[in-house]
């Protein structure tokens, strides 16, 4: 009967459907959706990130992510475990490529402080005239107003199963450009100029596989900041910047949540655990990528729209500074994979022959590190891991070397520090259940 009463008092929804998008700013002062119940589901229609928002000066954050959702019971100093139940690509095609910044069209940062070079309007509203890289026009004066151009790019189409993509020639790219919003399946609430308008075609006849993931998934920072800068590397662009979103080094370190990951193992089946730095946590997502090699070395990849289903759980008292990841088993680095039954039997026999009476029972975990450079990000990840498990940084260094790996998430400054940790330590932090749900622990 007590449980029935508590359910009656709760105002949380078991499922929250998200169709609203932000203007690119994550602001803890703005009202959140929800709350969603602890253990509940968030279903969201996400907009393409990177290129579309980058060529839409009115979007102030480099991306167009979903409006954050509060989670019932999540308090500052807790964490929220986000299980990615499904990711479905809805775009039938997209375009991308390496970028070049257009001089004179920003106030210190083209991602979040765009300016029309002709009339001086900040964050100008724009419209599309025709196709090509001069098609984005200022509503006020009519000037070409895109802050970025594609330096070397491609237009890529997907099969119906969203398993294979092929880059097309200029004629096909230009034929699709007028219908870009429809082909890319932009959400109804999106205001971005679709990047297929540019019709790039420098790479033609290249085939690749799709494996979608979320470039943005996390919790709301405790100070307003552009969404694409909610990370240690891109966030460094905000330090002493000349625009209104400038932060000091202390403000960035204290308030960011590293929700802009671009880690390609944040995909269907994985579990991402995020810090809570504002009441309710404020789970948001977006920047879905159809595919990406480690590092996103071109700076951009195949941004797509899609539908995502998440399951959220509050972990009380897990005071982490940045995300933890339990990847799907296929994505765990070779040395970090749990021992099989046969391997454990061999290890126990070898240990017994050499005076070792017990072989550690452990499981893999990934700690995300971020910083202005990959070296700084690695140091950050190692320290976060050591602080979390109450061990020394040298121990984590050894574990990542002999029981794991350091992998690039995004160049220049997101890394994955993966290692096996004793199940006892994971139990102490309330994390062992996530590992057991994903991995075969002999």
Q: What is the pLDDT of residue 6?
A: 43
Tokens, residue 349: 């026999």
Q: Supply the angle between the helices 393-402 and 374-389 in degrees, to the nearest 10.
A: 110
For the chain, the domains span 93-185+193-209, 329-437
Counting beta carbons within 10 angstroms of the beta carbon of residue 34, is it exposed (0 to 12), middle (13 to 18) or buried (19 or more)? buried
**DSSP, res 378:** H
Is 310 in contact with 272 (CB distance < 8 Å)?
no
Is 419 in contact with 404 (CB distance < 8 Å)?
yes
**pTM for this prediction:** 0.96
Angle at alpha carbon of residue 370, lines to 420 and 50, rounded to 5°: 115
Q: With the C-alpha atoms ordered 29, 32, 37, 41, is the resulting torsion angle positive or negative?
A: negative
Distance CA 186, CA 198 (A): 16
Give average pLDDT by consecutive 10-residue segment, the chain, 442 residues: 48 97 98 98 98 98 97 98 98 98 97 98 98 98 98 98 98 98 98 98 98 98 98 97 97 98 98 98 98 97 98 98 98 98 97 97 98 98 98 98 98 98 98 98 86
Q: What is the pLDDT of residue 10?
A: 73
Distance CA 76, CA 70 (A): 12
The neighbour count for residue 108, using CB atoms within 10 Å, is 15
Q: What is the pLDDT of residue 1?
A: 37
């Amino acid at each position: 009967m007590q449980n029935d009463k508590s359910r009656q008092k709760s105002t949380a929804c078991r499922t929250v459907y998200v169709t609203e998008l932000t203007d690119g700013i994550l602001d803890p002062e703005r009202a959140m959706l929800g709350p969603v119940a602890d253990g509940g589901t968030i279903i969201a229609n996400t907009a393409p990130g990177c290129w579309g928002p980058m060529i839409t000066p009115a979007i102030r954050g480099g991306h167009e992510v979903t409006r954050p959702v509060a989670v019932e019971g999540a308090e500052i100093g807790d964490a929220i475990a986000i299980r990615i139940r499904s990711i479905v690509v809805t775009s039938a095609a997209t375009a991308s490529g390496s970028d070049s910044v257009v001089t004179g069209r920003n106030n210190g940062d083209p991602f979040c402080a765009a300016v029309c070079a002709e009339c001086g309007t900040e964050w100008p509203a724009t419209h599309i005239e025709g196709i090509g890289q001069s098609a984005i026009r200022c509503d006020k004066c009519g000037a070409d107003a895109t802050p970025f151009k594609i330096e070397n790019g491609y237009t890529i189409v997907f099969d119906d199963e969203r398993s294979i993509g092929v880059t097309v020639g200029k004629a096909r790219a230009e034929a699709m450009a007028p219908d870009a919003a429809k082909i890319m399946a932009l959400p109804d609430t999106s205001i971005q100029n679709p990047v297929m308008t540019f019709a790039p075609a420098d790479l033609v006849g290249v085939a690749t596989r799709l494996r979608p993931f979320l470039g943005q998934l996390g919790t709301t920072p405790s100070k307003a900041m552009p969404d694409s800068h909610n990370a240690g590397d891109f966030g460094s662009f905000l330090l002493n910047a000349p625009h209104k979103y400038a932060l000091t080094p202390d403000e960035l370190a204290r308030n960011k949540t590293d929700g802009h990951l671009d880690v390609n193992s944040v995909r269907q089946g994985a579990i991402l655990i995020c810090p809570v730095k504002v009441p309710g946590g404020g789970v948001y997502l977006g920047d879905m990528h159809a595919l990406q090699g480690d590092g996103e070395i071109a700076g951009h990849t195949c941004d797509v729209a899609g539908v995502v289903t998440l399951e959220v759980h509050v972990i009380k008292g897990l005071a982490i500074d940045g995300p933890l990841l339990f990847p799907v088993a296929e994505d765990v680095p070779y040395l970090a994979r749990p021992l099989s039954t046969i391997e454990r039997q061999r290890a126990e026999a070898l240990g017994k022959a050499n005076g070792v009476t017990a072989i550690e029972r452990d499981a893999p975990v990934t700690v995300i590190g971020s910083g202005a450079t990959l070296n700084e990000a690695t140091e950050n990840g190692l320290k976060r891991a050591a602080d979390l498990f109450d061990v020394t940084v040298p121990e984590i260094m050894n574990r990542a070397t002999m029981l794991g790996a350091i992998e690039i998430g995004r160049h220049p400054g997101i890394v994955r520090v993966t290692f096996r940790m004793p199940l006892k330590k994971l139990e102490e932090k309330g994390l062992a259940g996530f590992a057991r749900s994903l991995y075969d622990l002999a």
